[in-house]
Structure 1
Amino acid sequence: MGTTGIPGKVTQGSQTKGGIGESTLRPDGTLKVTGEFAYSSDMWHEDMLWGHILRSTTAHAEIVSIDTAEALATPGVYAVLTYDDLPTAVKNYGLEIKDTPVLAHGKVRHHGEPVACIAADHPETARRAAAKIKVEYRELPVITDEASATAPDAILVHENRDDHHIGHVPHPNIVHRQPIIRGNAEEAAKKADFIVSGEYTFGMQDQAFLGPESGLAVPAEDGGVDLYVATQWLHSDLGQIAPVLGLPEDKVRMTLSGVGGAFGGREDLSMQIHACLLALRTGKPVKIVYNRFESFFGHVHRHPAKLYYEHGATRDGKLTHMKCRIVLDGGAYASASPAVVGNASSLAVGPYVLDDVDIEAIALYSNNPPCGAMRGFGAVQACFAYEAQMDKLADKLGMDRVEFRQLNAMEQGTIMPTGQPVDSPAPVAEILRRVKAMPLPPERQWESSEGADVRQLPGGLSNTSHGEGVVRGIGYAVGIKNVGFSEGFDDYSTARVRMEVVGGEPVATVHTAMAEVGQGGVTVHAQIARTELGVTQVTIHPANTQVGSAGSTSASRQTYVTGGAVKNACELVREKVLELGRRKMGTYHPAWATAELLLEGGKVVTDGGEVLADLAEVLEGEAVEVEEEWRHRPTEAFDLHTGQGNGHVQYSFAAHRAVVEVDTELGLVKVVELACAQDVGKALNPLSVIGQIQGGTTQGLGVAVMEEIIVDPKTAKVRNPSFTDYLIPTILDTPTIPVDVLELADDHAPYGLRGIGEAPTLSSTPAVLAAIRNATGLELDRTPVRPEHLTGTGSA
């Protein structure tokens, strides 16, 4: 890892071991590697029942009747619930638009929609009972694309919409529409010496997290319920669950249990309400664990997209204008589609200077699977298209592809297409320079004196090629991603920090509702506490709803926002501790009143390094506790007609160089290397930073060459809901991923940090596609690339 730039300023406790800037190890790391970590699916309770969901077998149909009698008569079955059994008038939920029924009512809108839920004394009993429920459907026409969704006679996916987006969309089957208009693209196009256009298709990607949806609901003596669940946003879940149960929020107590990955797929509810309903109905704890097949239907996916782009440039390589239209398929329910539209439209230009743009992004309602948040949402699809356009323009101009990008790269001070100035470092040209300068891997690595190493060849261990017809390709891409929730959302987090003496040693306890989903937040929170409070021992309290909201673990926001809350709370605790010390011990030394005092290594020291007291001595018999909210600077909604507005908090940037080897006869691809350069503002934990960049890069690789949920265009049914047919990269598919990290501090952010988890997912996909195009000479305008696209037997 190379590290340059200006690190964020650390003023307190910087000498305490395990603080900010160190690669401290994750407390859950060894447990996860050895298989000892307790995930939510491992929970157990005495006298526990098992829940199961009956799902629709068709994508769009009226429900004529549901007969549960035979299921209820099954020995071991304690409850069977349908829509009519729900206890309150609130029967829908949703992240923004509450359009999703807890259980289907009147009709089903997608394949796999929950229709009934069952509680039984054994999971197989619950499944057998579900199979005995008789549901009579009357099939309806399916909406599967823009043409069928917006036709004059199109059937409506939601017949009686009344959400706040309905007034500005041209058709009720459009969830949200966001134009971005700046300058005059039509006039600017007349100045272009070269114009290129393209139509791009982005496939539906699954988050494919390690641990399927699971949780345990335990009825309480006070009439409430305790829910232990793997989620991304405890308080959002709470706000959706409690009204359906008819309970005040303080009687729905939620605790985060072990999460096996998320990537956006746990922002929406899955089994939470069903488990609580069954627990309250039966009076017994109810556990629900999806199998992998159920998981594919039980959470949202990445929006598939059609993207239509036009760019122009002058002979000297300066961009003149851009027009684009982005059509995202949101599926049957809204989920996060409005926010995905906002991201896709506002970031559709990419990290380039363009004064004249005409952008439109929409999300459709359809009968395809619901789509919502996934790592880099909206910006990922746009990056795939605009980076292909950059290569097309560079080639038409006869320019080097990287130099063309650098010539048009944005920088600090650039005005975004939304009219918002970029007021922090934007080292786009620099990260491109760095990634291009990284050494290339040796060619023909499969060759050895002992014969071909098939693991290094396209096709790998399938042993299909020994190097005949293998061509190397190199491609580049760069992307821009917003950090945090945008468009006027009140994005904040809360932290409670307590400092006391335990066993003669000062100990800090950090309590937040942050969902640790594998991103390493619990490690960073301990590092912040050590840095700010000068203690070695830090306890991370389990995340639950007994502390204020931390928001979602998404949008690369947790280190920024919840880390900011922890830092803020620690600073207030530190001041209280020092005031306590002044009262207790200040009479013994004048420096208590005159010096700037720091906490380091369990001691109170002056700015000159003189030790005034042990922290344990200052705190003896006392405990100091603070709960504090922290907000980033405010954002504002984009204008619904022009798209203008200061909609984003911060931007992150990553660039990739992909090196691939392609067997052009068999259509097989081996990604040899995916080098990355990224500005992270400040690497709070360098080891975790590298892991996040490599993980995001690998997910981008997956959607480039293998990952796609296949939906039948005639029936809207999912064809491949299993890891047998939905392929994700394994260790043998994952290339070398060298990373060059820049640290250019954002003065608006805690420690100068920049959210990092999503940006590498953007640029890795188009870099791989660019490299394959470089190797084959093919246009390749869709993801993922399949063998038939490379051999002339299929279109791409």
Structure 2
Amino acid sequence: MTHTAVSQGVGASTTRPDATLKVTGEFAYASDLWLDGMVWGVTLRSPHPSARIRSIDVGPALKIPGVLAVLTHEDVPGEKFYGLEHKDQPVLAIDEVNFQGEPVALVAAEHPETARRAAAAIVVDYEVRQAVTDPAKATRVLRRQPVTKGETFVADVVVTGEYEVGMQDQAPLGPESGLAVPAEDGGVDLYIATQWLHVDRDQLAPCLGLAPEKVRLTLAGVGGAFGAREDLSMQVHACMLALRLNRPVKISYSREESFFGHVHRHPARMRYEHGATREGRLVYVKAEILLDGGAYCSSSPAVVGNAASLGVGPYECDNVDVTAIGVYTNNPPCGAMRGFGAVQACFAYESQMDRLARACGLTPLEIRRRNAVKQGSRLATGQLLDSPAPLAELLERLEALPLPGPADDDLRSMPGGVSQTTHGESVRRGVGYGVGIKNICFSEGFDDYSTARVRLELLNGEPHVTVHTAAAEVGQGLVTVQAQIARTELGVERVTVATADTSVGSAGSSSASRQSYVTGGAVRAACLAVRERCKGLAPAQAVERFGPIEETREYRHRPTVPLDPVTGQGDSHTQLALCVHRAVVDVDTELGLVKVVALDAVQDVGRALNPIALEGQIHGGSAQGLGLALMEEIQVRDGRVLNPSFTDYLIPTVLDMPPMQVEVMEFPDPDAPYGLRGAGEPPTLSSTPAVMAAVRDATGLDLHRVPLRPQDIALR
């Protein structure tokens, strides 16, 4: 096949097709879905974190004009439970509720306000129980995963620390929303903002009592995800109502309901002990990591596996004794969020590396350099790093980046900003570093693959390529990358990426920084198959001779294995990625206010398929890590969420994010398509400990919990 030069292929910073629509507010998100004749669904949720249900009286709701249906667990047409890894979560509460916000009943009405009033009119008689909210006292274990190797647990220098990570929310731009439409064949078509179309379908179909082929999902506009959309939320509820009424039903959560309607990042309590030689070489690491999984399983077992396997970080250490445990409580369910267990562990082990540096009289960078992994190193799990792991080079590049100049008198650059809380009298500057290692793609033996269908044809006399996958575009730029691959492999400028749906084979989840790897690999494989059928002819000539050419291919990465349940040894990960951060902060030590002055990052990405989109991912991940360090926490007291709104749950704005120097390094992975290395999650790991290290440097305080609170500094 004769290649034609393309300007928007792999390696180019191409324009995203959804970019203009999103910045002008014209993009159609799932909450914008509309169909004539549709009705509105609303969910009644439990006000209690733990209670028995004595009775549910739906009569008052049914008496309200405009109410069309009220459903409880008795109306679930199929299986009454679903779940990502274990089917332990009820479609609607049966005889008990296990967290505040658990769905209890559904209402459909002609108007959303009518549906909300009707839901409030349902009378539920609860027998409130004592909630289990302290994970240290929980007795139901989701997973316990040790990682052990070596026998030497004595050293010249020993540092210990206890660390805590609060419950972070994914805070997606768009709350959960979808539209279910009953079909003539007795099935249902669901238009939904999700991360994983096929697993949604496979959970939905048994609950609806339908064959999988009768449950068809099409991706609607997704306003961010970050793990919040891996689990079901309103999917089954909208479908139940649509099938009951034989009418389209839309459910769209409010922001407050969204906080209750999806999983969050696992809060963690961690105790670490590091032993080293006097020269700062690691001898051993011991750790206990406790993760609060909340009321239901979700993806907690996999999160526990990640925390355990990556619990030592990207450092060489021959003796390891790490145990990660996830438990059930009556707190909100926790599951996938960007970083997936590695974030919590990274905060602890990086805090420990700073402690170790001080104890050994070394700089934070030097202690990390002396213990850095490299190609040929083995992780705590025994897994060989058989592709580039250039941590020493990343640290060298980070150190070479220029530091910001001294603070000026502009109030906007002061902690507290234009509120004039300070004029610099008690402001101190600090510098801190963070290093993180993150697995890419699914791990521990999961059958991780993606499917792509590619069609080459002539439209208006010009060659045109259509790429069709079920991969969810959740804002990461995947649609752009798929088109770039098709242009590169087929030499055709005009490429359309079809809307993702379940009419093509599974593409897995848009999580684990995996889609460029596996869906990119599938698109490339399908394009190569099309190119083979072109028999060396240019695209237009091939279609003229052979007619439209279409190929479907699956792509699988190299296999992984589950961690040994006793030793934690095993090649559990496909690919590993490294990112390093340097943070510079100004801290008002009297008021406890922090201004991040600079947050610089260096990351190895294997190969940059779209440099500008890649840099955006690094900025975004760094922002979420900054948020976890300084402001983002779902406040839970006695199992009740106290701040389910953006008034009280704070996320970084453009005023909180500093300028970033971003250096992208490219050390290709020979086992990955184009040599790429998943890049979306690693910045979320190392940014948090870098910011906290900088605050410690400015204040001299031993800070061990994120997010940091003003009283942690000011009241000392």
TM-score by length of 2: 0.99
User: 1:433: which partner in 2?
Assistant: 396
Letter in 2 for 1:618: A
User: 1:189: which partner in 2?
Assistant: 153
**How far apart, in 2, do the equivalents of 1:311 and 1:484 lie?**
29
> Which residue, out of 275, 290, 298, partners 1:312?
275
Residues 38-83 of structure 1, C-alpha deviation per residue, up to 9 Å, x if partnerless?
0010010011100000000000000011000110111101110001
**How far apart, in 2, do the equivalents of 1:147 and 1:617 lie?**
68
Pairs within 5 Å for 1:746-785: 746-785=669-708
> Which residue, out of 537, 548, 568, partners 2:505?
548
User: 2:82: which partner in 1?
Assistant: 93
Q: Is the 8 A contact 2:41 2:250 kept in 1?
A: yes
Pair 1:116-2:101 in alignment? no
Shift in CA distance, 331/627, structure 1 to aligned 2, threshold 3 Å: same
Letter in 2 for 1:129: A
Aligned partner of residue 606 in structure 2, secondary structure: coil
**How far apart, in 2, do the equivalents of 1:248 and 1:312 lie?**
56
User: 2:301: which partner in 1?
Assistant: 338
Q: Is the 8 A contact 1:670 1:733 kept in 2?
A: yes
User: 1:450: which partner in 2?
Assistant: none
User: 1:704: which partner in 2?
Assistant: 629
**How far apart, in 2, do the equivalents of 1:361 and 1:248 lie?**
38
Q: 1:791 offset after TM fit, Å?
A: 1.1
**How far apart, in 2, do the equivalents of 1:463 and 1:295 lie?**
35
Q: Is the 8 A contact 1:20 1:528 kept in 2?
A: yes
User: 1:17: which partner in 2?
Assistant: 7
User: 2:258: which partner in 1?
Assistant: 295
Q: Is the 8 A contact 2:238 2:249 kept in 1?
A: yes
User: 2:351: which partner in 1?
Assistant: 388
Q: 1:619 offset after TM fit, Å?
A: 1.2
**How far apart, in 2, do the equivalents of 1:12 and 1:73 lie?**
70
Q: 1:334 offset after TM fit, Å?
A: 0.4
**How far apart, in 2, do the equivalents of 1:396 and 1:418 lie?**
27
**How far apart, in 1, do the equivalents of 2:677 and 2:282 lie?**
28
Letter in 1 for 2:91: V
Q: Is the 8 A contact 1:658 1:674 kept in 2?
A: yes
Pairs within 5 Å for 1:444-459: 444-445=407-408, 447=409, 453-459=410-416
Pairs within 5 Å for 1:414-563: 414-445=377-408, 447=409, 453-563=410-520
Pair 1:262-2:221 in alignment? no
Q: Is the 8 A contact 2:142 2:301 kept in 1?
A: yes
Deviation above 3 Å: which 4+ runs of structure 1? 11-15
User: 2:133: which partner in 1?
Assistant: 144
Pairs within 5 Å for 1:49-448: 49-88=39-78, 90-150=79-139, 173-184=140-151, 188-190=152-154, 192-445=155-408, 447=409
Letter in 1 for 2:322: I
Q: Is the 8 A contact 2:135 2:291 kept in 1?
A: no
Aligned partner of residue 666 in structure 2, secondary structure: strand
Letter in 2 for 1:746: D
Aligned partner of residue 284 in structure 1, secondary structure: coil
Residues 186-225 of structure 1, C-alpha deviation per residue, up to 9 Å, x if partnerless?
xx232x1110000000000000000000000000111111
Aligned partner of residue 387 in structure 1, secondary structure: helix
Aligned partner of residue 734 in structure 1, secondary structure: coil
Residues 477-534 of structure 1, C-alpha deviation per residue, up to 9 Å, x if partnerless?
1010000000000000000000011101000100000000000000000000000000
User: 1:668: which partner in 2?
Assistant: 593
Residues 132-164 of structure 1, C-alpha deviation per residue, up to 9 Å, x if partnerless?
0000111111111233313xxxxxxxxxxxxxx
Q: 1:620 offset after TM fit, Å?
A: 1.9
Letter in 2 for 1:477: G
More off after superposition, 53-62 vs 460-469: 460-469
Q: Is the 8 A contact 1:198 1:309 kept in 2?
A: yes
> Which residue, out of 601, 604, 612, partners 1:679?
604
User: 1:608: which partner in 2?
Assistant: none
Shift in CA distance, 16/279, structure 1 to aligned 2, threshold 3 Å: same
**How far apart, in 1, do the equivalents of 2:394 and 2:355 lie?**
21
Q: 1:13 offset after TM fit, Å?
A: 4.7
Q: 1:618 offset after TM fit, Å?
A: 2.7
**How far apart, in 1, do the equivalents of 2:356 and 2:381 lie?**
24
Q: 1:14 offset after TM fit, Å?
A: 8.2
Q: 1:703 offset after TM fit, Å?
A: 0.4
Q: Is the 8 A contact 1:509 1:538 kept in 2?
A: yes
Q: Is the 8 A contact 2:599 2:660 kept in 1?
A: yes
Aligned partner of residue 545 in structure 1, secondary structure: coil
User: 2:561: which partner in 1?
Assistant: 636
Residues 701-720 of structure 1, C-alpha deviation per residue, up to 9 Å, x if partnerless?
000000000100xx310000
Shift in CA distance, 282/409, structure 1 to aligned 2, threshold 3 Å: same
Q: Is the 8 A contact 1:210 1:261 kept in 2?
A: yes
Residues 445-493 of structure 1, C-alpha deviation per residue, up to 9 Å, x if partnerless?
3x2xxxxx22111011322111111110000010100000000000000
In structure 2, stretches of 5+ residues that fail to align are none
**How far apart, in 2, do the equivalents of 1:400 and 1:711 lie?**
38
Aligned partner of residue 357 in structure 1, secondary structure: strand
Between the aligned residues of both structures, percent identity stands at 63
Letter in 1 for 2:30: S
In structure 1, stretches of 5+ residues that fail to align are 1-10, 151-172, 448-452, 582-603, 605-614
RMSD: 1.0
**How far apart, in 1, do the equivalents of 2:126 and 2:138 lie?**
22
Pairs within 5 Å for 1:711-730: 711-712=636-637, 715-730=638-653
**How far apart, in 2, do the equivalents of 1:262 and 1:145 lie?**
28
Pair 1:617-2:546 in alignment? no
Letter in 2 for 1:460: G
User: 1:38: which partner in 2?
Assistant: 28
Q: 1:303 offset after TM fit, Å?
A: 0.2
**How far apart, in 1, do the equivalents of 2:4 and 2:714 lie?**
58
| Number of residues of Structure 1 aligned to a counterpart in Structure 2 | 715
User: 2:527: which partner in 1?
Assistant: 570
More off after superposition, 425-434 vs 616-625: 616-625
Q: Is the 8 A contact 2:135 2:328 kept in 1?
A: no
Q: Is the 8 A contact 2:486 2:527 kept in 1?
A: yes
Q: Is the 8 A contact 1:14 1:20 kept in 2?
A: no
**How far apart, in 1, do the equivalents of 2:231 and 2:452 lie?**
23
Letter in 1 for 2:501: N
TM-score by length of 1: 0.89
Shift in CA distance, 687/141, structure 1 to aligned 2, threshold 3 Å: same
